[in-house]
Amino acid sequence: MTEKPTRTEKDSMGEMTLPADALHGASTHRAVLNFPVSGYRFSRSFIRALGLIKWAAAQANHDLGLLDAERAALIEQAAEEVAEGKLDDHFPLDIFQTGSGTSTNTNANEVIANRCAQLAGKPIGSREHVHPNDHVNMGQSSNDVIPSAIHISAAEQLKNCLIPALEKLQSALEAKAKEFWDIIKIGRTHLMDATPIRLGQEFSGYAQQVACGKERAQKSLEILRELALGGTAVGTGLNRHVDLPKKMLRHLEQRTGIAFYEAKNHFEAQGGKDAVVEARGQLKTIAVSLFKIANDIRWLSSGPRCGIGEIQLPATQPGSSIM
């Protein structure tokens, strides 16, 4: 069996042998070996957020005169490829790793730097044009990048996926409420017959639940707009330009359509993830609402002979193989 070619890179701990065509470097490869925990890798939305952060940092550092045009252009192009998903295979790390996400921030820095080397016609591992720490990670730290990537990835998913889906579902249920308005049926409490109700009224309740869910999703998006970018290692903003966060956030808004803003207190933003916990609570409420609606419809369509059987769902596939 032919052995795959390798290359040797150095980091602060010494030499590391890794696949010749891997865009990640020595530090990432150490983490691959150190954390073979679950097999779960980071999501597409999270890696996209990392790419956007590195893209925005390159633009902002160039705006501030800290990064020359050639390096900035290379980093922007490579970071764009990360954001677009073209380099996902080079993000091999398990999601369970060192607590601050240092390995994954390093992964992004190394991939972008090595891709810059390729774009400049240099071999992978070359640091002549772009260095992963000095240039790609300029003015940043894992401790502000990773919390910000969590917020950005979740906020984009809320804006582009969940909220539009809830709007579509709300409209569909409102249309059914109108369609079913003239249908009178029995109301129930705890599955026991109660007083009459319109089927349209029941569906109007479902539509309102979804409308409330949409408002909860929008609240989640609002609290996730606050980013830790600019706090660097411990929240003090050490080793970054005073105007870097403001300029990065402007570029991020340009790309996402979301008006992110700098954390009111970087020590809170980096010391805890209360905003994510709050957003999760809103999402859990939405999930419970949708489960309740689905369960009601399942009950109403039960049967057809011995169940409630008040509504009939379109058949999608055969049922039990024994019947």
Region of poorest pLDDT, from 13-17, 204-208, 285-289: 13-17
| Residue that has been written with the tokens 């470097």 in this structure | 25
Residue 37 main-chain phi, psi, to 5 deg: -90, -60
Asked if 91 contacts 48 with a C-beta cutoff of 8 angstroms, the reply is no
pTM value is 0.94
pLDDT value at 7 more than 60: yes
Q: Could you report the per-residue pLDDT of 167-177, keeping only the tens digit for each?
A: 999 999 999 99
> What's the whole-number mean pLDDT along residues 42-60?
98
Would you place residue 1 in the very low, low, confident or very high pLDDT band (cuts 50, 70, 90)? Answer: low
Q: Which residue type occupies 110?
A: E
- Of 127, 136, 139, nearest to 82 by C-alpha is 136
pLDDT (tens digit per residue) in 282-319: 999 999 999 999 999 999 999 888 889 899 888 888 87
Residue 2 confidence (pLDDT) above 80: no
State the catalytic residues: 190, 320
Check pLDDT > 70 for residue 92. yes
At 128, is the pLDDT very low, low, confident or very high (cuts 50, 70, 90)?
A: confident
The string of pLDDT tens digits covering residues 209-256 is 999 999 999 999 999 999 999 999 999 999 999 999 999 999 999 999
What gap in Å lies between CA 148 and CA 145, rounded to an integer?
A: 5
CA distance 19 to 154: 32
Task: Give pLDDT, residue 10.
Answer: 84
* Separation of alpha carbons 156 and 215, rounded Å: 16
The residue whose two tokens read 């050639």 is: 70
Q: Are 74 and 116 in contact (CB under 8 A)?
A: yes
In angstroms, the CA 16 to CA 134 distance is 20
Look at residues 36, 47, 174, 193 and name the one whose alpha carbon lies nearest to residue 108: 47
Range 122-135 average pLDDT: 93
Rounded CA-CA distance 32/285 in Å is 36
Average pLDDT over residues 78-87: 98
For the chain, domains (ranges, CATH) are 14-138 (1.10.275.10), 147-300 (1.20.200.10)
Average pLDDT, the chain: 95
Query: How far apart are alpha carbons 29 and 36 in whole angstroms?
Result: 11
- CA 224 to the chain's CA centroid: 11
Tell me what the mean pLDDT of segment 92-100 comes to: 90
pLDDT score for 41: 95
Residue closest to 270 by CA, chosen among 97, 143, 140, 138: 143
pLDDT value at 134 more than 60: yes
Q: Lowest-confidence range among 94-103, 162-171, 253-262?
A: 94-103
